[in-house]
Every structure is written in C-alpha cells, then in structure tokens.
C-alpha cells in the first residue's frame, strides 16, 4: 500500500503530486490520458480501480464533478477515505458525500485557494469540510501541498467558502477593470497607476471585518464611517466621470442601483452592509 493515491494529473493534480513526492510520501497516481502520468514513472498505474486499491487515502483532483462520477463509476470504494479537491458547487459536494457514504467510504471535500505554481508555497491553502475524523487522521498528509482550513462538518461548506471568495474576487476584478478603463485614454501609465490602485484596494479590504461585525450584531450603524446617504450623494460624480471618459458604466451600475434602493427604503444613516439584506433570498431547499 502507498501513503496516498491521487486521481488526476492535470495542471493542479500534477502540482499536488510533486509536493507529496518531494516530501517523501509514497504515492500512486492515475490519469485518464496516460501520457500525463509518464513523468511519475512507477507511481503511475493504468486504471482508476488499481489506483484506488493501492491506498486507503484517495485524493481526487479532476476537472469537475461529472468527471469524478465518470472516473469512479465502477470502482470499489469500500473502506476508503476519499478527499475530493475537484472544484464543485456546495450541492454537488453534499451529493458526492452521500454518494461516497453509500459506497462505504468516508468523505472530505476541499476547495483549493491557489493556482498550480503556488502549490507547496506559503500562500496556498485548501478549505476542507465533511468528516472531521478523516481530516484529523490525514492532517499531516493534507498539509504537504498547501495550508489547511477546516470549515465544518457540512460537506458543502468548503465549496461554499471557495465560491464566496471567488465571487468577491470577481467583484474586485470588475472594479480594477473599471478603474483602468477610466484612465485608459489619458496620459497616465497603467504601471504608474497600478501601485496606487493596489494599495487602495488593500486599505479598503478591512471593510470585510467591519461588515461582518455589523451583520453579526444586526446594528448596521455600528462603526459606520461613510454612511449610505453620503455614498449615494457621490454616485453622480462616479457616473458623470465614467460618461465623460467614454467608459461604459455597466460594471458599476448594478451595485450603485442597490445602494440607491437601500437609501430609498430609509437606511441612509447605515453602512452599505444593508445591501446584503437586499441580495439575500430565502434559501431554496435542496
């Protein structure tokens, strides 16, 4: 038996595999297309079933949830500890946990917060959720490629944390795109502007802590620095400048519309955190 088996040697899987081998762990690997497994020499086996049989701990890093189902459809998972690092939705992760349970396996889901070159470095980490017992048992092995953050017994929570951070990141990328569009046709070098932009975003990032505190207390006036009324009063400056620069407002207007709606509902003295209330719909039962 080897210390662990890894299914999937795409860009991410291969990066994970290299860190385990470098750390002296014995590894069995499998990839649907054998050529990608060649660099791993004797560690590679021909079928997913052989790979699963070779270890108790099975780490899966395939393209998407459907590929996990396809790769393991006819494989005996009885008594195995399955750690699925394939990106999925919370609903898919919960269904996959049930699927593993029905096959006699324990299940832990993971969401990788890194790109392949970061694996093995200090900034990479992986969210885990599902069986705490399984997480504790394999904590040493799981900590080799990236830091570990266990976020709960609900197998959907790792994916939910992953997606929440990615959504926030997309919002930030949208803001960065709008800012560069504003200066594009001016005598301002993007490389001169970038440090100012990056430092400003970092300085503003602590809003996450302020809003978390407001959400938990239910007091949206708590610690407010720039209230909603003041921020809505500034909207014409943002939109007029955008128009004058010949820039489309389409990235900006959805958020500004929510600010205006919240103000119209009488929350001008609160922080903008009340937008969370506008966005939140009752959860659809699974």
Distance in Å, CB of 75 to ligand NDP, minimum: 11
Return the structure tokens found at 63. 């393209």
Tokens of 62: 């395939």
> Do 102 and 108 contact (CB within 8 A), yes or no?
no
Region from 66-74, 93-101, 193-201, 245-253 binding ligand NDP, contact rule CB under 6 A: 66-74
CB-count burial class (<10 Å; 0-12, 13-18, 19+) for 28: buried
Q: Report the distance separating Cα 128 and Cα 110, nearest Å.
A: 4
Give min distance, CB of 162 to ligand NDP, in A: 8
**Near ligand NDP in 11-40, by CB under 6 A:** 11-13, 31-33, 36
What SS3 class is residue 255?
Answer: helix
* Those residues with Cβ within 8 angstroms of residue 20's Cβ, 6 or more apart along the chain or in another chain: 3, 4, 6, 27, 141, 144, 145
Nearer to ligand NDP, 70 or 168 (CB): 70
Nearer to ligand NDP, 105 or 228 (CB): 105
**CB hemisphere CA count around 161 (13 angstroms):** 19
Q: Give how many residues touch ligand NDP by CB under 6 A.
A: 22
Nearest to ligand NDP of 149, 260 (CB atom): 149
90 scored as a contact of ligand NDP (CB under 6 A): no
Q: Which is nearer to ligand NDP, 34 or 190 (CB)?
A: 34
Two tokens at 179?
């800012």
Residues 178-207 that bind ligand NDP (CB under 6 A): none
Q: What are phi and psi of 188, to 5 degrees?
A: -125, 120
Which residues ranging from 100 to 139 are in contact with ligand NDP (CB under 6 A)? 112, 115-116
Positions that interact with ligand NDP (CB under 6 A): 8-13, 31-33, 36, 61-64, 67, 70-71, 86-87, 112, 115-116
């Amino acid at each position: 038996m080897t210390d662990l088996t890894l299914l999937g040697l795409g860009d991410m899987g291969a990066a994970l595999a290299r860190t385990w081998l470098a750390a002296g762990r014995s590894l069995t690997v499998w990839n649907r297309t054998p050529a990608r497994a060649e660099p791993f020499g004797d560690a590679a086996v021909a079928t997913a079933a052989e790979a699963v049989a070779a270890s108790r701990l099975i780490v899966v890093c395939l393209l998407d949830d459907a590929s996990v189902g396809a790769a393991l459809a006819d494989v005996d998972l009885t008594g195995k500890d399955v750690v699925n690092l394939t990106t999925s939705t919370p609903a898919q992760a919960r269904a996959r946990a049930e699927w593993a349970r029905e096959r006699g396996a324990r299940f832990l889901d993971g969401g990788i917060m890194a790109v392949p070159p970061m694996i093995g470095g200090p900034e990479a980490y992986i969210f885990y959720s599902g069986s705490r017992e399984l997480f504790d048992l394999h904590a040493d092995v799981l900590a080799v490629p990236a830091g570990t953050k266990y976020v709960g017994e609900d197998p959907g929570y790792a994916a939910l944390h992953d997606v929440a951070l990615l959504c926030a990141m997309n919002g930030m990328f949208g803001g960065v795109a709008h800012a560069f569009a504003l200066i594009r046709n001016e005598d301002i070098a993007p490389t001169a502007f970038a440090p100012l932009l990056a430092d400003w975003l970092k300085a503003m990032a602590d809003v996450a802590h302020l809003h978390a505190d407001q959400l938990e207390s239910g007091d949206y006036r708590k610690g407010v620095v720039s209230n909603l009324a003041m921020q809505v009063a500034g909207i014409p400056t943002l939109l007029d400048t955008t128009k004058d620069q010949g820039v489309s407002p389409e990235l900006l207007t959805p958020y500004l519309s929510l600010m205006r709606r919240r103000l119209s509902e009488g929350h001008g003295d609160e922080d903008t955190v009340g937008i969370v209330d506008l966005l939140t719909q009752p959860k659809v039962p699974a």
